[in-house]
Structure 1
Amino acid sequence: MMRTNKPSNSNSIFAVKPILLAISFLLVFILVILLRSSSLPTTKPLSCPPITNPLPDSSSSHTCNKLSLATAETLVHYVTSNITPQQTFKEISVSLRVLNKKAPCNFLVFGLGYDSPMWATLNHGGRTVFLEEDKSWIQQIQSKFPDLETYHVVYDTKVTHASDLMEIGKREECKVVEDPRVSKCELSMKRNLPDEVYDVEWDLIMVDAPTGYHDGAPGRMKAIYTAGLMGRNRAEGETDVFVHDVNREVEDKFSKTFLCDGYLSEEEGRLRHFVIPSHRARSGRPFCPL
Structure 2
Amino acid sequence: MKSFSNTRLILLHPSLTKHNPTPFSPNRLCVLAFISFFAFVFLLTLLSGRETPARRPNLFPSPTTPIPSSGPAPYLFDALIHYAAQSTAGLMPDRDLRSIAQLLRQRAPCNLLIFGLGPESLLWRALNHGGRTVFIDENQYYIAHYEERNPGLEGYDVAYTTKVSELKELLAEVRVQIRSECRPVQNLLFSDCRLGINDLPNHIYDVAWDVIVVDGPRGYSPESPGRMSSIYTAAVLARSRGEGATDVLVHDYEREVEKVCSGEFLCRENLVGADGQLAHFVIRGGEAARKDDFCFNRTSTAAAAL
**TM-score, scaled relative to structure 1:** 0.70
Q: 2:96 aligns with which of 91, 114, 119?
A: 91
Identify if the C-alpha distance between structure 1 residues 225 and 76 changes in structure 2 by more than 3 Å, giving closer, same or farther. closer
Is the CA contact (8 Å cut-off) linking 1:156 and 1:218 kept in structure 2?
Answer: yes
Alignment correspondent of 1:188: 196
Which residue, 267, 276, 282 being the options, matches 1:275? 282
Q: 1:260 to 1:132 in 2, by over 3 A?
A: same
Structure 1 alignment gaps of length 5 or more: 1-51, 55-59
Match of 1:161 in 2: 166
Question: Cα distance 1:259–1:282, how it changes in 2: closer, same or farther (>3 A)?
Answer: closer
Which amino acid is 2:246 matched to? T
SS at match of 2:295: coil
C-alpha distance after superposition, 1:203-229 (max 9, x if no partner): 000000012001221111111001000
How far, CA to CA, are the matches of 2:97 and 2:198 in structure 1? 30
Structure 1 residues 78, 166: CA separation in 2 closer, same or farther (over 3 Å shift)? same
How far apart, in 2, do the equivalents of 1:140 and 1:77 lie?
25
Cα distance in 2 for partners of 1:142, 1:177 equals: 32
RMSD across aligned C-alpha pairs, in angstroms?
3.3
Is 1:178 matched with 2:186? yes
The change in CA–CA distance for 1:165 and 1:282 in structure 2 (over 3 A counts) is closer
1:94, distance to aligned residue in structure 2 (A)? 2.3
After superposition, the C-alpha distances for 1:67-119 in whole angstroms (9 at most, x for unaligned) are 79xx79x9599469845452222212322232222211000000111101110
1:140 aligns with 2:145: yes
Kindly provide the CA deviation profile for residues 13-36 of structure 1, in whole angstroms up to 9, marking residues without a partner as x: xxxxxxxxxxxxxxxxxxxxxxxx
Say which one has the larger Rg. 2
Residues matched between the structures, number: 233
91, 99, 102: which is aligned to 2:107? 102
Structure possessing the higher relative contact order (Cα contacts under 8 Å, 6 or more residues apart): 1
1:255 aligns with 2:252: no
Question: In 1, distance between residues paired with 2:210 and 2:116?
Answer: 17
For structure 2, the residue ranges without an aligned partner over 5 or more in a row are: 1-50, 62-66, 298-306
Alpha-carbon offset, residue 281 of structure 1? 4.8
State the percentage of identical aligned residues. 40
- Of 60, 64, 70 in structure 2, the residue corresponding to residue 63 of structure 1 is 60
| Whole-Å separation in 1 of the counterparts to 2:290 and 2:254 | 34
Q: Report if the CA contact (8 A) 2:184-2:292 is conserved.
A: no
